Amino acid sequence: MITLLQGDDTPIATVRDLIANQADSLWYEHPVAEPNVSAWMKATQMLDQALLSFVDDLEVGDEQLATQLDASLQGSFFRAAIQDQQERDTYLLLVHSRGRILWHHSTAEQRRGWYFAGVGLDDGWLLDEKAEIVAPLIAAVEHMLDMDETEGVVEHLLTIAEHLFAIPSFAPKDGLPDGWRRIMSQWLEGVSLQLIFVGPDDAMIDDDACGAACHFIEDGIVYRLTWGMEAVRVRRPELIDDALSAPRRGLRSAAFLESGTLNGVVALLLQIGLPSRRIAQEVVLAEDLSGLSLTRLRIWLRAKRDEPAERWDYLHEAIRPLWISFLADISSAEHEEWSVQVVNLPLRSRYRGDNEIHGLGIISRVEIENRVFGEFQTPDGTPVGEADWPFSSNGPKFAEALLSPDGNLTVTYVGPGTNTLPH
C-alpha cells in the first residue's frame, strides 16, 4: 500500500508524513492515481482480512482494539521482518488506522461473518446486502431439488451469480466473458465442453475466447461462485438446520456448480473420484442410477467391481479404461484395512505471536508451489503454524492433532493408508 501511495515520484518521507497526520482520511477516498485504484482496493481488502485474523477477540470494543492489536503483533513475523524502526512505525500506524475504521463501521457479528467469508469491510457490506436477496433464492433452489424439479434451477442460479459476481471478492478474476450466461447454463446442463466452446453460429470460437470461457468455468463458477454461496449459506438461518438428519441447504447447489450437472448421482461420482463428467453421465443414464443415495451408489459400485470389461461396451473405447480403473481403485480403497495411526512431530514455525496457543485442533495438508506441508489450525479454523505432513499423497487431507505447550504435535488418524514419517 505504501508503494501505491508513493506512485512514480512521491518521496517516501512525504508518504510517511501523510500516514502520520492523515491516516484515517486515506480510507474514505482513494488516495492513489486512477490506474492504481483497483490495486489499492484489493490491498485494503487483504489488510482487512489480516486484521480479522490477527485479533483473537472480534468482540473487543473500539477502545480496546489498539491494545489487542499490539498484543497480537508482538513477536509476530510482521514485526520481525521489518528491521527499520521508522518503517515499522509507519506500517503500524497504517494497520492501527485501518483497524479503527473497520471496527467503527462494523458489529462483532458482522466481523465474525466477514472473517469466515474471507472478505473485508467494503465487500462485507455488499455481502450483507446481497445475502438478503440470494439466501431466499438458494432456499428456493434447494426446495426444487427436494421435489426433484430441476426446471427453473438454472435460472435461479444465474440470478444468484449476477448478484454475487457484483461483489469484487466473488467476481471472476478476468471479468465476465461474452455469453457468460450461456456458458454457465450449458455447464450446469451437462453439455460437453467441446459444445460449450462453440459460438452461437455453431462455429468454433477463437483460442482467446475459448480460454476465457474455460477460465470462467474454473475460476468464476467452480471457485468464486461456490465460495460466495457458502459465504451466504453459513450466515442465514433459513439455510441451516441444527438437526443432524436435516439437509444442509446450499451444499447441493455448490456441488452442482463444481461438477457441472444437475444430476445428483453424476455429482456424487465426480466427488468420490471419477475423473470424467462424460463417463459419469453415460453410466448414470445407461444404468438408470438417478436418485441413488451415496450409500446405495457405493453398494452398486462394489457389486460391479468384478464385471468383465465387455460389460461396459456402451462406453467409448477411449474412455472405458478410465471407468474400469475407477471401479478397481474405489473398491480396493473401501476394502483396505483401517487402523489407528499416531505420529509425533514438532511444530516448525508459528504464524501468530501468541506462544500460549495449544490444545486440540486439526492438521491440514497444504501444497504451495510443489512444497507440501502440514498446517495446524485451532478448532475455529485459525491457522497457527507449520509442520511436516506425515501422510502419503493418497492418504488423508487432514487429521486430528494435539498441540502441547512445548510445541510438539500428536497427530491421530483413523482410516486406510500409511504415514510417511516414523512414529
- pLDDT tens track for 41-79: 989 999 999 889 888 788 888 888 888 888 777 766 666
User: Which of 276, 304, 333 corresponds to the end of one domain?
Assistant: 333
C-alpha cell, 252 = 447441493
Residue 251 lies in a domain: yes
Domain enclosing residue 174, as ranges: 126-333
Residues 371 and 285 in one domain: no
Cα(267)–Cα(360) distance, rounded to whole angstroms? 33
User: Which of 333, 356, 376 corresponds to the end of one domain?
Assistant: 333
pLDDT of residue 217: 93
Residue 46 lies in a domain: yes
Residue 364 lies in a domain: yes
* Distance from the first to the final alpha carbon of the chain: 46
Residue 51 lies in a domain: yes
Residues 367 and 246 in one domain: no
pLDDT of residue 226: 92
Average pLDDT, the chain: 83
Residues 377 and 407 in one domain: yes
Residues 30 and 62 in one domain: yes
Give the bridge partners for 414, in sequence order.
340
Residues 192 and 267 in one domain: yes
Residues 142 and 65 in one domain: no
Q: What's the Cα-to-Cα distance from 208 to each of 172, 174, 177, 214, rounded to whole Å?
A: 16, 12, 10, 10
pTM for this model (two decimals): 0.70
Q: Return the number of other C-beta atoms located less than 10 Å from residue 340's C-beta.
A: 8
Residues 260 and 374 in one domain: no
Residues 220 and 328 in one domain: yes
pLDDT tens digit sequence for 358-377: 788 889 888 887 788 998 88
Residue 110 lies in a domain: no
Burial class from Cβ neighbours inside 10 Å (0-12, 13-18, 19+) for residue 199 reads middle
Cα(168)–Cα(119) distance, rounded to whole angstroms? 10
In three-state secondary structure terms, 32 is: coil
Residues 383 and 348 in one domain: yes
User: Which of 333, 358, 390 corresponds to the end of one domain?
Assistant: 333
pLDDT of residue 168: 93
Residue 113 lies in a domain: no
Domain count within the chain: 3
Residues 95 and 132 in one domain: no
